[in-house]
Amino acid sequence: RKEVEQDPGPFNVPEGATVAFNCTYSNSASQSFFWYRQDCRKEPKLLMSVYSSGNEDGRFTAQLNRASQYISLLIRDSKLSDSATYLCVVNRGTGAGSYQLTFGKGTKLSVIP
């Protein structure tokens, strides 16, 4: 099983649609979880951290299921500006692994007018 696995997409959705991305991770010792977005030919930017209780930031909702080692990101009311690649990111566990991150290859989203 890959360390962090995501559906590469692309997901092509109309403006205003709701879209969900999923991610699975293999290291049960992982304790920190994030979603980053990466625009074409740009650096990854932190979108949101993911907490066990789930968290929401405007139109974005992230969920974590530790038992299934599964992370999700829901985007409501999609905007053209949401078009990007979304990276699922987890840390490598405890000790030195706590501050080392493993990045998924990303899921590409295109929002269509």
Site residues, other proteins (CB under 8 A): 4, 31-34, 42-46, 49, 87, 91, 96, 98-106
CA 80 centroid distance within chain: 18
Q: Which residue type occupies 48?
A: M
| Residue among 27 and 32 whose Cβ is closer to other proteins | 32
Nearest distance in Å: CB 19, other proteins = 21
Nearest distance in Å: CB 32, other proteins = 4
Nearest distance in Å: CB 99, other proteins = 4
Task: State the SS3 of 15-28.
Answer: CCCCEEEEEEECCC
Neighbours of 16 (CB within 10 A): 10
